[in-house]
Amino acid sequence: MPATNPSKTTLWTGRILTGLAVAFLLMDAVIKVLQLPAAVQATLALGFPAGAVLGIGLLELACIVLYVTPRTAVLGAILLTGYLGGAIASQMRIGAPVFSHILFPTYIAALFWVGLYLRDDRLRILLPIRARA
């Protein structure tokens, strides 16, 4: 299939959505890697041991690096979707509020995928979405 040529607006919209999602998760990962008290307390509240914070943060950073690397962006998006699915399951397990805690990772995952779709030719070829006539 031939490559699609997205408009500059489409490309920049994808980059901005990607940037927003990456900025949020990067901040989250750094807080975990630094093992700041807020991250440790949140992890304990979810029922995980305090020692898990560093590993979770490093895993998140690894997924982000894969996502922002053009050759591995799709793999990174898949892994981040799984990571965020774990966040959803953890929040559901403790009975957290739906819109602020349970669905928030879904919103971030949507930003990752829509941003990637708008900026990555390979994904648009794999999943062609056409407007109805």
> Per-domain residue ranges for the chain?
8-120
* pTM, entire model: 0.86
CA distances to 22, 23, 32, 40, 56 from 51, rounded to whole Å, are 24, 24, 11, 8, 9
Count other C-beta atoms under 10 Å from residue 100's C-beta: 9
State pLDDT tens for residues 65-116. 999 999 999 999 999 999 999 999 998 888 877 877 888 999 999 999 999 9
State pLDDT tens for residues 48-62. 999 999 999 999 999
Q: Which of 62, 59, 113, 129 is nearest to 87 (CA)?
A: 59
